[in-house]
Structure 1
Amino acid sequence: LVEVADPFLPPGYPRASADALAASLAAGNVESASAEPLSDGAELLRGAAVVRAAGDGPVVGVVVASIVLSGDLTAHARRINGAFGTYNQLRVLTRPVTGVYLSFFLMTTLMILIAATWLGTYVAKRITRPVLQLAEGARQIGTGDLDHRIEPESSDEFGGMVEAFNAMAADLSTSQRKLIQSRGDLEHKTRETERRRRYIETILERIATGVISIDSAGRLTTVNAAAVRLLSLDATVIGEPAALIFERPDLAPLDAMLREARRGAFGRAAREVALARGGRECHLAVAATTLPGERGLDGVVMVFDDVTPLFRAQRVATWRDVARRLAHEIKNPLTPIQLCAERLRRNFSTAAPETRELVNECTSTIVGEVEALKGLVDEFSHFARLPSPRAVPTDINFLLADTLGLYAGLFHGITIETTYDPGLPVVRLDPDQIRRVVVNLVDNAAAALGGDRGLTSEPGGIIGVATYHDVTNHVARVTVSDNGPGIAEVDRDKLFLPYFSTKGRGSGLGLAIVRRIVVEHGGSIEVTENRPRGTRFSIELPCGASALDDTPVVAPAEGERA
């Protein structure tokens, strides 16, 4: 036994363990190392090896080597030994653990296969079931069951298809109900149309208005009893060409109207036609209406009304109205005569006594006779007619200045202000009638300001007369305005009606005649509010191109005051 010891071994270290290790190794044990703790926490390590004679000969000795490990190394060695021991223990569990993991993987694979199979079956059912339901629903719809519906089982694309199918079925059901209702309505309307046709035929045969219808081929299709009576036709003319029926000389105007209607040139307003019947004149109001078709004109309907009694009544009323206008027109020239007489009286007020007496006597006679004539024409039976305008090229500015000259110094407290457009062209008009219009409007303006011819009104009254050339609309505009109390808006539309007057006196024909004169000149007149107060009358007269060829009379300067 040979012991090789570390020279740094503590003194008195135990040797018994070395002897025991050597004896054990010599006895044939394989354990060739040992560890023995020391008192200071260190550890004594011993390793032994046998010494043989030669090769595999007998053991002739044992060599034991000892070394001391410090505390730190001892701790590391212990941990290493512990880990090595644990490793040796786990090596024993390698096979069981491997078997467990293999079993887990097998079970997981089996579960995945089962889940995949179930999911495939579920998805297949989810796909095929809605398709089968849609196919069955289509068969039900095809058999006429439009109320069949499919319950949606999901909100995906198949659910959208099911909802679309249900919406289609609902639309088909609604359309079918509407179709049934429409068929019922059509049958009802057919019956109603037939009833109304019989009703209209009955009315056409009973009414006093004549009705004739001509088809697109120009043949008579409808002739009621009144038309037969009014036109002296035979009831058997239905189906005959209208041109052949209307070729009679007395029905020639109707033939011309029919041709105009077929060309589309006949207006909507009825026309009056005079026919000779039994030695008397029959007046008919005829209206022709075209019947448009899908391929153009489908026919013409002509309506005849016997307006002979109405024509007679209108003629009587027209004569009365014309007579009233004539009385007013007679009164208009009396106004300048009276104005001139009164002006002569004022101008000769400072003359010699004999001259003044003669002038006063003459003017008094003139004024008295004028007043008597005015009273006479007021009571005059109106049996004359207002003459048609005799239009001549006229300078409106010069005409207005000449007319307003009659009012010079006549009104006290009223100023007549004029504003003339120097670029106003010559207009074709009747000077006498337009003069009457201006005199009437100025007299009305003076009366609104509280003044009358020869009378005094409150100071500050202004009557404005102005002209303007509207180049865009080719009209000459004449305005007469005042700063009086004005006219209520509710009365403005009635001013031009006969017998309407806001002055409480007079016949109410003045403005009606004014409007008639303006209209007969192709113009228009309107009344509006004058700002800031008062009334404004605006007259528009067309500017004829032919009148521009004449040399106009020089108009007075703009802004002249009368």
Structure 2
Amino acid sequence: MAYGLAAAAVVSCVATAFMLVFRPAQTQNIETIVAMIYLDGVILLLLGMVVGQRLFSIWLDRRRGQAGSGLHVRMVTLFSLVATAPAILVAVMSATFLHYGVQAWFNERVSTALEQSMGVASAYLKEHRENFGTDILAVANDLNINSGILTREPWRLEPLLTFHTRSRGFTEAVMVDGTGKVIAQSEFSRLRETEQITPELFQQAQAGKITLIPLDEQDRIRAIYKLSRFVDAYLVLERFVNPDVLNHIDTIQNAVREYQRLQRERGGLQVSFILIFTVVSVLLLLAAVWTGLTVATQLAEPVSRLIYAAERIRDGDLTTTVDIPDADDELASLSRAFNRMTAQIRGQQEGLISANRELDERRRFTETVLAGVSAGVVGLDKDGRINLPNRSASVLVGEDLMRAKGRLLVDLVPEFAPLWSEAKRRPDRQQRSEVKLARDGSERTLLVRIAAERLAGQLLGFVVTFDDVTELLSAQRAAAWADVARRIAHEIKNPLTPIQLSAERLKRKYQGEVTSDPETFTTCTDTIIRQVEDIGRMVDEFSSFARMPQPSIGRENLSNLIREVVILERSRTEDITLDLSLPDGDMMLRCDRRQVSRALTNILKNAAESVESRVLQNKTDGGESEPGRISITVTDSRGQDGGDESVAVTVEDNGIGLPEAGRERLTEPYVTTRSKGTGLGLAIVRKIMEDHQGDLRLEDRPGGGARISLVFRDLDETANDGDKDPMKVATGLGLG
């Protein structure tokens, strides 16, 4: 459409100029010129809208920073200036020529010549009319003089009129009455009807004036005159006039009138011509601007497409190509080279993507492996800064190593510093050591290994791996103590019975025979018997720990079991208040009733001894003693939303509490804080909980004292895990 408007603008301007300049003035049609001006205006409006829309689009592209918009604007500006400068120059020159041309048209010499020509024409017409009037009066006078004869002898009128017609150069001579009826006429007269003589003309003739009769023909003149000596008679005469003379006179008169009209409308004429020139000039200007826009766009678009495609490639879209222009020029060659380059980059990218995908799969596999192992793994750079830890490492050291990337590992875990120094000093050897780590009041033992990572003899970094071997060491110690306990029980239990029997026999046989000091004898034998019984009980505990029986799992009522243990413990600790809190209804749990009862009894026994120690200590210090209290709370979270599907038996006491140091070893054999303790109570409880796949938790009670929790989970119907030994438990923890 825009190309059609531009072509129409040029054609319309040429047609308008032709109408105004090249066509003769007498053939010009003002309606046609006005129509052409209107057509120019419509084309001007449409083309102006198209050009304005295009310029606005270019401005928006520049405002948005679209690719190639700056080059496009510069080229449009350049081509528009090149196109508009000649059009503006032509318009200015046309306006100047018009101004001076109008001044030349209306100068004094032209006005004088036209006025004098008009005077000559007027004088000629006046003279011709005066001669015509003189002849009319002469003929009328002759008729009036001879009116008497002519009235009596009307046949004389025709010869007389014919005579005057021939002698005076008339073409017609007719006498008519007041109604227009012909009375007489000259020979060869063509006048048969007098319809052209209106009553108004008769009235003017009655006044004694020579009255001209309007005719359609411009080459003759006709007049009517009243004959005064006749009754109701009028003389009508007609004469030829040279048509060339009349045409010249009409031309002069029309020219003078047109000149005078133009002179009166001189300002409007100049404005009209200026308006016409302006419309035509603006139309040509817009056509030129559109041409400049089109040429600039044709030159800038390939470059803009290249820039846009380059930006798309920069953003990662390597499928981008540019259209190759039809013309086989430099831009087409550049476009083909660009497409070849894009294809090469796309191929290289696909290769890189494939390689990166393979590397990413390997990385994810490695991360999955690292995340799935229980051991901690930390990748370090050659300076010891963290760059790749797994989740287990954060759990084991008690620090969020994922957020500590870039920091020195020894700053977060100072316990690793000696081993790290040795590994850095001798990177060719793997360093290994057990490191004790104290966090949040508990101590754990980590088996730490540090190995250097090398590539082509160059040190890239280090890999630190560490396992929590606390449970493993504890299991090893438990296994060792179990073996020791079996040997001790075997070696000690054999002589205990003869010793006890011998002491009892001595007491029975010689108690009456000893007279010198019988009380001492009795005391010694009783002491021997009592100590043998104590040693026997200790040996029994050794035997129980060394050979824990296989758990016999069955469905038991845990509520009744706990009530029985509490009733028994209340009978033994009357000075201590035991509070029991159970859920409503019966709690059924798959467990070994005897072993669970034994574990709970040991926990309550330890709690009672802790309370008694605290009371005794307060009495020794002379302070007030708080009444001893032990509370047993049972929580069943099975079948509850958000629950962990477990049953927790929590025992709290207000005794002396748990020690701060070595707390994690309280469940190991022969580790005790009491002077008469064997250190096997909590070890047996732990073994029972492990056989039931449960947990034993040691915590501080708020306000003082201890909080011990036995956490049970429902066992499968086929569960009977009494064959687990400490080493198997350690292996099950993923530490082997």
Same fold (TM over 0.5): no
Higher RCO (C-alpha 8 Å, min separation 6): 2
Structure number with greater Rg is 2
TM-score, normalization by structure 1:
0.38
Greater share of residues in helix: 2
Greater share of residues in strand: 1
